[in-house]
A and B are shown apart, each in its own frame.
Chain A
Amino acid sequence: MKPVFLASALLATVLTGAAIAQSGAPIKLANVAELSGGGATVGTNWKNGIDLAIEEINSKGGVLGRKLEVTHADSQSNPGVARAQVQKALDAEPYVLLGPGYSGSVKVTAPLAAEAGIAQIMGGEAAELTQAGNKFLFRTSFGQQSSMPKVAKYINDELKAKSVAIVWVNNDFGKGGRDSISKEFAKYNIKVAADLSTEAGQADFAADVSKIKAAAPDAVFVYVNEEESARILKELKRQGITVPLVGETTLVGQKVVELAGDAANGARGHVGLTTDAPVELIKAFRDKFVKKYNYVPDHNGLKGWLAIYMIKATTEKMGKVDSKGFADALHGFTITAAKEPGILMDATFDANGDIDRQGFLVEIVEGKQVVKQVLPKLNN
């Protein structure tokens, strides 16, 4: 044990020595994410996205000539543990804090990062996160408050549905989506014909689908994770439900198509961020990711990657590594893919830390995602 330890310590000294000789001390980032427990899949994707981006940036000389370095800590998908780990990360004074992905864990940790004056780039999607006036919190994806209006508008304008069944997974992701879309439906006077909560990891959707059948809605809104999406699509087909099925990234992703086969045909949804987006840079990202990790990432992999490129672009804009000025520099900043290809699509960050970007409406046709409509940025 001891020689190994000594050797690695020696190696570490040599490596850091080399790094310093080359280009100044590395820029330290800290990531706290759900690496075990219920959110392990989310957190692992996020972590892998981060690692991939850092590897690429470092191989091209780093940011302002300095390498990026990240520590990963596991929150066990538990807000209490997340709080401890974020505190530990902040005690080490990182340049920027990354994560967590669960909205609950973000709520616990955001005040700590704000108090330390360190910007936090996170993966949570709950609407309220960026509405509490925190000046240090940034999203990497659309919050539900900006994606759900688009879905509701589509259901009202294009599908002309008067009653909709909502199927959602009963965790903070699913509940948040369900609450946001219900609010939008109320504005359009769309009736919620059935409101079905499901469990994460649920295998049997016979009961849920038979309830949908009994409610006979004009459309079904499905907001559950990819694996459950595939299962419910199969069950919907089996029980002969033919009304339009609408969802988000988690209903129309490539993974769902692979798992559900034929049953995925006809599913449509709003896609804010997906590895299947018809954008060359995203396809290239996906290939790099698959090459390194041997699986197709979900949108959390993309979020982790984007977080790192947000840091790169913002730091280069400031021209210096300034932890205190970071949040100010990112507010109101538009990162263009032309200037920073790593951001994949042009993105603007507003004063709340929300992201604004193009979106797509897609439909699965014969096992392929077909873009039906490109939704422009909200503010140009």
Chain B
Amino acid sequence: MTAAKYLKIGFGIVVIAALIIVPMNFNRYGLFILSQWAVMTIAAMGLNLTLGYAGQVSLAQGAFVGIGAYTAAIMTSNGLPLIGALGVAIVLCFAIGWILGYPALRVQHHYLAFVTLAFSTLAFLVFRNEDWLTKGIYGISNIPRPELFGYPTRRPLPFYYVCLGSLGIVSLAVWWLIRSPWGRAFIALRENPVRALSLGIDTRRYTLMAFAIGSALGGVAGTLYAPLTQYVDPVPFHLSLSLDLLMMVIVGGSGFFFGPFLGAMIAVLLPEWLRFTQGYYLMLYAIAVILLLIYSPTGILGILDRFISERRTKAASAQRAVAKAKLEVTP
């Protein structure tokens, strides 16, 4: 058991080191794609909290990314620091999530999905129509990249490290959260809401909390998206981004900590790898996702999980057999 744990830690260190060192000689395109992956992973982690841990479907994660992106775009274009925008985006998304979730969760079930579906289209319309704030369909261009501790991050590599670092911080925070009593309450909610209620957990408040925190992480992803692309317009934050993020969570494995990492990898990198097929690449991507889900509806990590638990059951039944044999031998 401890050997397996060391193996896990060692593997983690190798992956992190690789994420830091390997991209050093990537070209600008590779760095951009990897940065996109980091940003989308943050947004998907937020959704994973809502969906995977608290069991609620949100169809507005893309809209929260949009709110974060617009907050960053508007504030940094006016000379305010990105870190300030980050704070505003977190508070804004958390508050909106709370207000949206409150009435929807009154009736449980798929109503949060419906309300968030409506919200994401409403948000798109506001981004597009309120010229005075968002510059409408023209979008906001020339969004500056921040300076961190006096270092400019204008070049692709430094900004990739900003994205990767943010992903690291968010991962640690989420890791801590799901191991805190709150996180355990979230999981209790997903597994058995009635029992959770009877154990004295205020189910609605915790569900709401999970959704609001998840939405705030969408906002965090947005504040990185804006300086990454350096241009924000309403179109990328349409309902389709919310659906894409949902796909990332499910494909990676909803409810698994590392699910969003893999899901975002599939959603961001797989189409890029398939581009050599020219006009067919999105079709092949769609087929790949469908096949994967048919093979393992619990996502990529579901396969791994199934494999591990099968091995455990095998090991356990082997042990049982041994124990049984011993029992039979003793008398």
Residue ranges of A at the interface with B (Cβ–Cβ < 8 Å): 35-36, 38, 72-74, 77-80, 83-85, 87-88, 90-91, 103-104, 107-108, 111, 126, 128, 170-172, 175-176
- A80, B36: Cβ atoms closer than 8 Å: yes
Chain B residue contacts of A79, Cβ below 8 A? 139, 229, 231, 233, 235-236
12 A–B contacts from the bound complex (CB under 8 Å): A74-B275, A79-B236, A80-B225, A84-B32, A87-B29, A87-B32, A104-B137, A104-B138, A107-B139, A108-B230, A172-B233, A175-B137
> What is the total number of residues of chain B having a CB less than 8 Å from a CB of chain A?
27
- B138, A175: Cβ atoms closer than 8 Å: yes
| B128 CB within 8 Å of chain A | yes
Chain A residue contacts of B275, Cβ below 8 A? 73-74
A119–B279 Cα distance when bound, in Å, is 26
Chain B residue contacts of A73, Cβ below 8 A? 275
A88–B30 Cα distance when bound, in Å, is 8
- Checking A72, A74, A84, A128 against B29 with a beta-carbon cut-off of 8 angstroms, the contacting residue is A84
Chain A residue contacts of B296, Cβ below 8 A? none
- B233, A91: Cβ atoms closer than 8 Å: no
Knowing A36-B282, A108-B141 touch, does A83 contact B229 (C-beta < 8 A)? yes
The total of Cβ contacts below 8 Å across the A-B interface reads: 72
- A104, B279: Cβ atoms closer than 8 Å: no
In angstroms, how far is the closest chain A Cβ from the Cβ of B42?
A: 15
In angstroms, how far is the closest chain B Cβ from the Cβ of A86?
A: 9
A78–B232 Cα distance when bound, in Å, is 10
Residue from B28, B33, B275, B281 whose CB has the most chain A CB atoms within 10 Å:
B28
Chain B residue contacts of A80, Cβ below 8 A? 36, 225, 228-229, 236
In angstroms, how far is the closest chain A Cβ from the Cβ of B248?
A: 15
- B137, A72: Cβ atoms closer than 8 Å: no
Q: Which residue of B lies closest to A108 (CB)?
A: B231
Listed from nearest, the 7 A-B pairs whose CB atoms lie closest are A88-B29, A108-B231, A87-B29, A91-B27, A80-B229, A107-B141, A87-B28
In angstroms, how far is the closest chain B Cβ from the Cβ of A41?
A: 14
- B29, A77: Cβ atoms closer than 8 Å: no
Q: Which residue of A lies closest to B39 (CB)?
A: A80
- Checking B236, B272, B278 against A78 with a beta-carbon cut-off of 8 angstroms, the contacting residue is B236
A70–B116 Cα distance when bound, in Å, is 43
- A172, B137: Cβ atoms closer than 8 Å: yes
A68–B281 Cα distance when bound, in Å, is 24
1/0 per residue, CB under 8 A from A, across B135-156: the answer is 0111101100000000000000
- Checking B128, B235, B279 against A38 with a beta-carbon cut-off of 8 angstroms, the contacting residue is B235
A78–B66 Cα distance when bound, in Å, is 14
- A104, B235: Cβ atoms closer than 8 Å: yes
In angstroms, how far is the closest chain B Cβ from the Cβ of A290?
A: 21
In angstroms, how far is the closest chain A Cβ from the Cβ of B177?
A: 28
CB-contacts of B229-259 with A (<8 A) = 229-231, 233, 235-236
Chain A residue contacts of B139, Cβ below 8 A? 79, 104, 107, 172
CB-contacts of B268-320 with A (<8 A) = 272, 275, 278-279, 281-282
Residue from A80, A171, A172, A175 whose CB has the most chain B CB atoms within 10 Å:
A80
Chain A residue contacts of B128, Cβ below 8 A? 170
- Checking A84, A85, A104, A128 against B233 with a beta-carbon cut-off of 8 angstroms, the contacting residue is A104
A130–B331 Cα distance when bound, in Å, is 94
A83–B282 Cα distance when bound, in Å, is 18
- A175, B282: Cβ atoms closer than 8 Å: no
Q: Which residue of B lies closest to A112 (CB)?
A: B28
Q: Which residue of B lies closest to A103 (CB)?
A: B138
Q: A83-B231, A104-B137, A175-B136 are in contact. List 6 more A-B contacts (CB 8 A).
A: A74-B281, A77-B235, A78-B235, A83-B32, A84-B272, A126-B138
- A72, B278: Cβ atoms closer than 8 Å: yes
Chain B residue contacts of A176, Cβ below 8 A? 138
Q: Which residue of B lies closest to A47 (CB)?
A: B279
- A170, B137: Cβ atoms closer than 8 Å: yes
Q: Which residue of B lies closest to A174 (CB)?
A: B137
CB-contacts of B35-64 with A (<8 A) = 36
1/0 per residue, CB under 8 A from A, across B118-136: the answer is 0000000000100000001
Chain A residue contacts of B282, Cβ below 8 A? 36, 74
Q: Which residue of A lies closest to B236 (CB)?
A: A78
- Checking B28, B228, B231, B281 against A91 with a beta-carbon cut-off of 8 angstroms, the contacting residue is B28
In angstroms, how far is the closest chain B Cβ from the Cβ of A35?
A: 7
A80–B271 Cα distance when bound, in Å, is 14
In angstroms, how far is the closest chain B Cβ from the Cβ of A222?
A: 18
A290–B219 Cα distance when bound, in Å, is 48
Chain B residue contacts of A77, Cβ below 8 A? 235
In angstroms, how far is the closest chain B Cβ from the Cβ of A192?
A: 16
Chain A residue contacts of B32, Cβ below 8 A? 83-84, 87
